[in-house]
Structure 1
């Protein structure tokens, strides 16, 4: 330090040297903090998409509602195939959605012909897959045959049997009454079973009708169809 400074301040050389060291250390410390506190460029973080957008999953396929009260045999495919025969405009095979009713089958076949009596059809009944719907079938010949057989109740049912198999899903009480061993009461039991279960899916279901035992079922099996 210049001599005049030492004399002016009245400081000893040792004290002045210590003060100089303190000043230098303070300057270095201040410079360090100034350097560390300077503004710095910060890189923006990469944008991350939400998990739902980053890995979209396939939307679940909507399931078709299954109507209640439909026989289990017509549910898996969603389609029932029925044979509409008799006095309709377009007889033949009709494919309809499961849960369809007899009236839907009649409409698909173009409707019944003018003057056709459809009182024997339960048009509100749910269709069963594979059944046949006979529209306007006349029961007069079988009734006459049954009347001829009534005189010999113990005889075999050869002459009293109808000429062809009767559809359990389409026959009326009068038509069922023509079968051997089937009277009006049992015929009504068959109709009631058909209404409760949505139709016959096979002839074997005839065993479950009240009043039909094994022997009577054996006699009726070749004379009926679903």
Structure 2
């Protein structure tokens, strides 16, 4: 059966439509499988940039951490009438009460009346908690200031250095009042530093008995 001209045109149109549809589908499929690759030089540059940024962020993190660590904590040495004398690490801004707590609290023999538990601590501070029977003629704050000064009159072992102690600090020794304390300072100024702790017996008013009472609390450095 011979097709008419109209039928031939219709079949040709259908064939064109089918061919076009298949071609479009194939193009779309190929595009979905196509990947855009970065040139090697650009890729290396990108990787290096990422690594540099990572290292910078890491360095910044550790620098901040070090700065926080250095500025946040302080070291304080406490001796005397506490249950666990020693050196303790505390947060910056801590008070005397905090280091006393870390040291196990005060002993039953501690002189509580002169202790200012609200006093703020500083790095490298040394605190000596006195015995209840110890004669104290200066305030706790002054005692701590003497202990934590650059030239320690009361070093970390709790002993008073008679070569650097002033009158007020010497008065904290048992049986040493303002008169004897001044005599010790005057003797030191006239004769130079003491060579031995028992040289204190050369000071008028300090005999063997009085020296024996303070011998375990004084030293020369």
Q: Would the TM-score normalized by the shorter structure come out above 0.5?
A: no
TM-score of the pair, normalised by structure 2: 0.39
TM-score of the pair, normalised by structure 1: 0.38
Larger Rg: 1
Query: Structure 1 or 2: larger helix share?
Result: 2
